[in-house]
Structure 1
């Protein structure tokens, strides 16, 4: 599966210049744009920055015909075609700052200033991702001093070191505070936060290795062990983390959020309505199982770990919240009973007398409803043209919760 991409080009002021004829890119994932940028350069000899999705032929990701808005960021006057009337960029008050013309340049300028303060020069920014949940660039940098490459105006050495710029929406702004806490208390468990700035900007040190998407059961169990150490350490600092922005999804607030989602998306569903009515009692029974509330990653799967089989860091803390630690193992285990068993054994060792298995049994449908609430929250806060990234997720997770009752 691939994408057939059309780019509607604008200049820095936002004026529409025209559209590039469609071209194929190999990666199907709509939010991944490195090959979109490369394709514009290879096919039409222009440098662009992808701003946002305008339209797609499919109702949900990925693949198919995809139309993006892109800013022409370099010299060149490519041969363009007319812009489809459906693809005229409009205004949306919920638009992310990196999705506007000039927004990426402002973020890259901020990153270059922070790196200059550290004695490093950016020699090449490479756009990696652009969608409603984040914008990501890899910056190839060199240290000041030493012999200069021919194309560099200043003296630099040639030992290149990647650094990462990530920009997130306001509802993920607490990621900086969580990374800062992790760096102070458990260095090496997450990427080093080099700087944080306005509009959700993060400057992150490079983490060597690969995403651990293909991790087997043993490696996923080790990842669960990594997070267990983080969660135990977070218990005494949880109020401090909430004070600096970590969302609070402990029992009362979680129950309110779930009831609101059921009322908005499934008000006539008797099974889910009954669950909503009994949610306070269910969560009280969870509390009686004796596990503490902790820092929860919120989207713990192997792809959110980078490194090697025997050593990794956990990335993407934007979904994190204060709440029950079982939510993470339910996401990571994905039905693997052996991982649930190992997780339960760790908690029984750390908190003698607790009942992790009963907590898991009570929280299975609640975890599915929490996912529905997460995606409903995205839809409430992102611009309309990008709703198709998440619209199918709310009914999916409501159906999953119903199946678990």
Structure 2
């Protein structure tokens, strides 16, 4: 038998009464706890399966409070299993700090963290399906549920559909995706419908194989497809701007350097659960604060290197690529912007194995031959290393600020990861 490696406290709230499920099997009133064989509980749709299997109650994720505590809602009329009871929320007050804060505060939450959102989303999916002569074949399943977005998958005749809802700064994703699908530069997701007031949209399942599981040759294909799209978009920046893609200029990126490097709330923070104990030590913080002038020079060098502005994916990694028979499909254009294309290579530079990186870079760079002066590529390649890592750091710090203190835990571990990659990139460049 595999030993469970992690546990999650669950606040399971009855939709109708507002009562909370409590575990009384030990003789005291406690929040239920789920156990998992993974290092961290899956804070997404799999929690619904876990609570049904381990406790016997049907629920769905409402709001993760940290990496090991989650609020779920239960459909009304479910009896408490043997050893459990439905009690007022006050009966669990004082057990878990983040739960107390959840019960105390009417703080900002994205729409999908509020009761009733799932029912409205399901009604919209049904409306979209009916408009196309289709119908659902089962309950919607949670695919992703965190502070940046919510994704539901619904089985339907004619193929599954996905509903996605995101925060307002990223509401241009469906328009960008639909437009790219008309440009003849590869397969893209088929957007069936979008509703601006709720910032949600429905797309057909695009099938294919997860790019994260591809071979080194597949990774090279993914990078080559990114290059293909970017080359095709070289003369389309005005259209992209009209769709909601904003420019990411080197001067603007450089202007963020002083404030970001002086963020003591990040670089002097203690190691704790909310950042998975990945916060910087004093030496790392000192190193990071000393990068200002070097990063400014890199921004200036990249600005003058001669690479043209084009479409930037903004969150490019193999998990946002699908390998299909008709080519590589790139998806999740939430962060789509306009700027230096080499900024998209951060993950490829720092997360790939040396073999994958070598094959992928050759495939990507060869796509620019005949389009950009090879000397410009050589000039751009060196400063693009540190600056692509810095751009990722800026993005994730921005997300921390956007979602606020209650939800920052979703991004803080990644902030420290990119900050350490940045330190490594700058050290290698200076060597």
TM-score > 0.5 by shorter chain: yes
When structure 1 is superposed on structure 2, of 26-35 and 118-127 the one drifting more is 26-35
User: What is the distance in 2 between the residues matched to 1:352 and 1:382?
Assistant: 42
Residues 125 and 202, structure 2, Cα contact 8 Å, conserved in 1? yes
1:162 and 2:160 matched: yes
Q: CA deviation at 1:14?
A: 8.4
User: What is the distance in 2 between the residues matched to 1:74 and 1:42?
Assistant: 18
* Residue number in structure 2 paired with 1:99: 113
Q: CA deviation at 1:341?
A: 3.1
* Residue number in structure 2 paired with 1:235: 234
Q: TM-score, normalised to structure 1's length?
A: 0.83
> How many residues in Structure 1 have an aligned counterpart in Structure 2?
379
Residues 298 and 386, structure 2, Cα contact 8 Å, conserved in 1? no
1:8 and 2:29 matched: no
Q: 1:27 to 1:93 in 2, by over 3 A?
A: same
Q: CA deviation at 1:377?
A: 0.8
Task: Please report the RMSD computed on the Cα atoms of aligned residues, expressed in angstroms.
Answer: 2.8
User: What is the distance in 2 between the residues matched to 1:216 and 1:92?
Assistant: 47
Q: 1:50 to 1:119 in 2, by over 3 A?
A: same
Q: 1:331 to 1:339 in 2, by over 3 A?
A: same
1:112-160 CA-to-partner distances (Å, cap 9, x unmatched) read 2122111111232111221112211110112xxxxxxxxxxxxxxxxx6
Residues 2 and 28, structure 1, Cα contact 8 Å, conserved in 2? yes
- 3-state secondary structure, aligned to 1:340: helix
Task: Structure 1: state its 5+ residue gaps.
Answer: 57-65, 143-159
- 3-state secondary structure, aligned to 1:132: coil
User: What is the distance in 1 between the residues matched to 2:38 and 2:198?
Assistant: 28
* Residue number in structure 2 paired with 1:47: 58
* Residue number in structure 1 paired with 2:223: 224
Q: CA deviation at 1:42?
A: 3.0
When structure 1 is superposed on structure 2, of 254-263 and 373-382 the one drifting more is 254-263
Q: 1:204 to 1:241 in 2, by over 3 A?
A: same
Select the residue among 36, 46, 54 that pairs with 1:35: 46
Residues 372 and 398, structure 1, Cα contact 8 Å, conserved in 2? yes
* Residue number in structure 2 paired with 1:127: 142
- 3-state secondary structure, aligned to 1:161: coil
Residues 37 and 48, structure 1, Cα contact 8 Å, conserved in 2? yes
User: What is the distance in 1 between the residues matched to 2:191 and 2:119?
Assistant: 21
* Residue number in structure 1 paired with 2:70: 68
Select the residue among 336, 339, 348 that pairs with 2:360: 339
* Residue number in structure 1 paired with 2:260: 261
User: What is the distance in 1 between the residues matched to 2:255 and 2:314?
Assistant: 18
- 3-state secondary structure, aligned to 1:221: helix
User: What is the distance in 2 between the residues matched to 1:375 and 1:94?
Assistant: 19
Q: 1:337 to 1:131 in 2, by over 3 A?
A: same
* Residue number in structure 2 paired with 1:118: 132
- 3-state secondary structure, aligned to 2:246: coil
1:207 and 2:206 matched: yes
* Residue number in structure 1 paired with 2:399: 378
